[in-house]
Amino acid sequence: NAGVMQNPRHLVRRRGQEARLRCSPMKGHSHVYWYRQLPEEGLKFMVYLQKENIIDESGMPKERFSAEFPKEGPSILRIQQVVRGDSAAYFCASSLYRDTYEQYFGPGTRLTVT
Amino acid sequence: AQTVTQSQPEMSVQEAETVTLSCTYDTSESDYYLFWYKQPPSRQMILVIRQEAYKQQNATENRFSVNFQKAAKSFSLKISDSQLGDAAMYFCARPGPGANSKLTFGKGITLSVRP
């Protein structure tokens, strides 16, 4: 059973460009979470999605950031018009059930904005 | 605010010795989960151990065990017989805030293992 997959692993964007981060959850998992990790910090929750629905986006900046988890295909975290402060590691996690809170993490995407 | 506090930014342990990593948290709930995650240099987040608050028995996974003090809201991780591969950042986490299953993480502890 393959783990959570994220790609790309490293992404370099210039200020003002768009960044698209992809996450394929573990097989059978329908709950996806995105977290951001700034240098020397813990992970901070951004958004929680189930298939085709955003359940909780309380941690996501109101502007420039969006997320989706379509019926078919990976979950996408999209950052428009990136700025230097967006440079971070972005982690995706998935879970089979919501109530166990047991989340399995992908390897992360390190975004560098130049 | 629902917080998770890891007050020790760094710790060091001699190989084969035992080390305890501290974590405290804030909650108004009576039933909840607590987690320790390991993040090695590869940055992959690995679930080390999980504790269910309604269970009085402390969770154990091989060399890893927890000391869960519910009244004190303390959740420490004990690593026995430390190995070089245990060197990593360790994060304490709990679900919330709110009803959804997002996790709130502490700032982490960097553990180094001396050969």
pLDDT tens for each residue of chain A, 114 residues long: 578 999 999 999 999 999 999 999 999 898 999 999 998 788 999 999 998 899 999 999 999 999 999 988 999 999 999 999 999 999 999 988 766 567 899 999 999 999
Touching check for A30 and chain B: CB below 8 Å? Answer: no
Beta carbons of A43 and B43 less than 8 Å apart: no
Which residue from B minimizes the CA distance to A90?
A: B43
Computed over every residue of chain B, the mean pLDDT equals 91
Q: In B, which residues are within 8 Å of A91 by CB distance?
A: 45
Residues 6+ apart with CB under 8 A from A92: A4, A6, A21, A23, A25, A32, A33, A34, A35, A75, A77, A105, A106, A108
Touching check for A5 and chain B: CB below 8 Å? Answer: no
pLDDT of residue A101: 67
Which residue from A minimizes the CA distance to B110?
A: A40
Query: Is the per-residue pLDDT at B55 higher than 90?
Result: no
* Host H or E run for residue A32: strand A31-37
More confident: A48 or B97 = A48
Query: Is the per-residue pLDDT at B2 higher than 80?
Result: no
Shortest alpha-carbon distance between residue B96 and chain A (Å): 10
What is the separation of C-alpha A114 from the centre of its chain, rounded to a whole number of angstroms?
A: 20
Beta carbons of B95 and A101 less than 8 Å apart: yes
Mean pLDDT of B76-103: 89
β-bridge partners, B89: B39, B110
pLDDT of residue B53: 87
Name the nearest CA neighbour of B87 among B42, B24, B47, B35.
B42
Name the nearest CA neighbour of A105 among A92, A90, A86.
A92
For B10-45, the pLDDT digits (tens) are: 999 999 999 999 999 998 887 888 999 999 988 889
Beta carbons of B43 and A108 less than 8 Å apart: yes
pLDDT of residue B42: 87
What is the separation of C-alpha A58 from the centre of its chain, rounded to a whole number of angstroms?
A: 14
pLDDT of residue B10: 94
Beta carbons of B44 and A105 less than 8 Å apart: yes
For A67-83, the pLDDT digits (tens) are: 999 988 999 999 999 99
Beta carbons of B103 and A33 less than 8 Å apart: yes
More confident: B34 or B1 = B34
Mean pLDDT of B40-68: 90
Q: Using CA atoms, how far apart are residues B24 and B3, in angstroms rounded to an integer?
A: 8
